[in-house]
Amino acid sequence: MRILHTADWHIGKIVNGVHMTKDQEYILEKLIQIIKEEKPDVIVIAGDLYDRSIPPVDAVELLDSTFSKILLELKVPILAIAGNHDSADRVSFANKILRDKGLYIEGKYNGTAAKVTLKDEYGPLNFYLIPYSDPAEVRETLRDEGIKTHDDAMKAIINRIELDTSERNVAVVHGYITGAEALEQSDSERPLSIGGTDFVDVNYLSSFNYVAMGHLHGNQKVSKEYIRYSGSILKYSFSEVNHKKGVTIVDLDGSGSAKISFKELVPLRDMRRIKGELSKLLDLNIYKDTNVQDYLHVVLTDQGELIDPINKLREVYPNVLSLERFDRKKSSEITRTSAGISVKEKSKLELFRTFYTNITGNEFLEEKEEIIKVVIEEVEKGER
């Protein structure tokens, strides 16, 4: 059976004030094209369909349109779960009615992991849909006061599954599943809890033939090749600029062995960082071979004062989302201990020297000192 594993669509996402819905519409059309080419037997979406519990209207319409194309036009069933960004009740609305159309969607854990069985030429393949659940909800549902953490909750959920290892089994989960190795994280992943209590031991899931996971936005395995995060369909923060986004294709043979491949999704606008002096970044020879429509984080290396750099940059790069100065120190680091307490005892030149080194992190060279001396003298003449 061929499975297309995806997750973390985050439809309705806003990044630095920019609505990503048009970019998501474009990338989901690319996903439809992959489905047509790869001809999977089932689509698995491991949570975070939406970016927030009450999504905007255009986000709901986009998800409805995408699901309709997959289910009604391509005739491919969808198995989906709620993630920590989704509303469990909204996502699972009318799920029993929708099963007749091939949409199996679980929003809330009710004490038993929902089991969906599909068949191929090798026999049955069981999918266990385990939506994101807060430990307190699982504790109340199972009436088990020993459940305090996400690890406790997942262990209890898995222990209640009567797994028939003579058949092939797939788990669909959303959470922070960890093994011995460090995992790649990003800034756009909402923490599940505070202080490390969101971690779940990967060993609870080792008996499945494949584990389709969502939550972490980088495509990666956890301990074993068949336990995987598909990653998000788009870059949602500048911490993800080096990610390659896409979907995971899983071919499960009759013995349950998984052959895994990756299909890249190329976005309408990439998200990347650029760095340099303002004048050089505005030089046609520098940007002519790049997509100036990309979402950008710009690091300016100029040492002198700049006038309205963001709008100058946006004349060439309209989607500059953030801007910073290279090695710039936070102004809050300039405290009264360095300048304020002895301010009356310091000359204007000494005060400026302290200010300059704190802000830029650079040495206040003699040539700069001569320039500022002239400026101070001119100012003092004007004051007199």
Instruction: Supply the pLDDT for residue 366.
Output: 79
Instruction: Supply the pLDDT for residue 100.
Output: 78
Residues in Cβ contact with 301 at an 8 Å cutoff, skipping those fewer than 6 apart: 275, 276, 277, 326
DSSP 11: B
Distance CA(296)–CA(324), nearest Å, equals: 11
Q: 20-52: buried (b, 16+ CB within 10 Å) or exposed (e) per residue? A: bbebbbebbebbeebbeeeebbbbbbbbbbbbb
pLDDT in tens, 5-23: 999 999 999 999 999 999 9
Instruction: Supply the pLDDT for residue 338.
Output: 44
Instruction: Supply the pLDDT for residue 329.
Output: 54
pLDDT in tens, 300-318: 999 888 899 999 999 999 9
What is the percentage of the chain residues whose pLDDT exceeds 90?
Answer: 73
- Closest to 77 (Cα-Cα) out of 64, 86, 67, 90: 67
Which pair of structure tokens corresponds to residue 19? Answer: 């609505």
Domains of the chain, with CATH numbers? Answer: 2-264 (3.60.21.10), 271-325 (no CATH), 331-383 (no CATH)
Which of the given ranges, 116-125, 338-347, 353-362, has the highest pLDDT on average? 116-125
Which pair of structure tokens corresponds to residue 42? Answer: 């089932």
Distance CA(87)–CA(11), nearest Å, equals: 13
Distance CA(8)–CA(152), nearest Å, equals: 24
Residues in Cβ contact with 51 at an 8 Å cutoff, skipping those fewer than 6 apart: 10, 11, 12, 13, 14, 59, 85
With vertex at residue 291, the alpha carbon angle to CA 219 and CA 286, rounded to the nearest 5 degrees, is: 120
Instruction: Supply the pLDDT for residue 380.
Output: 58
| The pLDDT of residue 283 is above 90 | yes
Strand pairing of 220-222 and 224-229? antiparallel
Instruction: Supply the pLDDT for residue 191.
Output: 65
With vertex at residue 204, the alpha carbon angle to CA 166 and CA 225, rounded to the nearest 5 degrees, is: 75
Handedness of CA 201, 206, 207, 209 (dihedral sign): positive
Q: Which long-range contacts (CB under 8 A, 24 or more apart) does 195-198 make?
A: 197/135, 197/148, 197/149, 197/150, 197/151, 198/149, 198/150
pLDDT in tens, 161-214: 999 999 999 999 999 999 877 788 877 766 665 445 588 999 999 999 999 999
Decide if 248 contacts 6 (C-beta within 8 A). yes
Instruction: Supply the pLDDT for residue 350.
Output: 79
- Closest to 34 (Cα-Cα) out of 65, 70, 59, 67: 70
| The pLDDT of residue 139 is above 90 | yes
Task: Lowest mean pLDDT of 38-42, 231-235, 336-340, 343-347, name the range.
Answer: 336-340
Instruction: Supply the pLDDT for residue 344.
Output: 46
With vertex at residue 273, the alpha carbon angle to CA 272 and CA 275, rounded to the nearest 5 degrees, is: 155
Q: How confident is the model at residue 346 (pLDDT cuts 50, 70, 90)?
A: low
pLDDT in tens, 35-53: 999 999 999 999 999 999 9
pLDDT in tens, 47-97: 999 999 999 999 999 999 999 999 999 999 999 999 999 998 888 776 777
pLDDT in tens, 217-267: 999 999 999 999 999 999 999 999 999 999 999 999 999 999 999 999 999
Distance CA(353)–CA(334), nearest Å, equals: 12
Kindly tell me the burial class for residue 169, based on how many C-beta atoms sit within 10 Å of its own C-beta (0-12, 13-18, 19 or more): buried
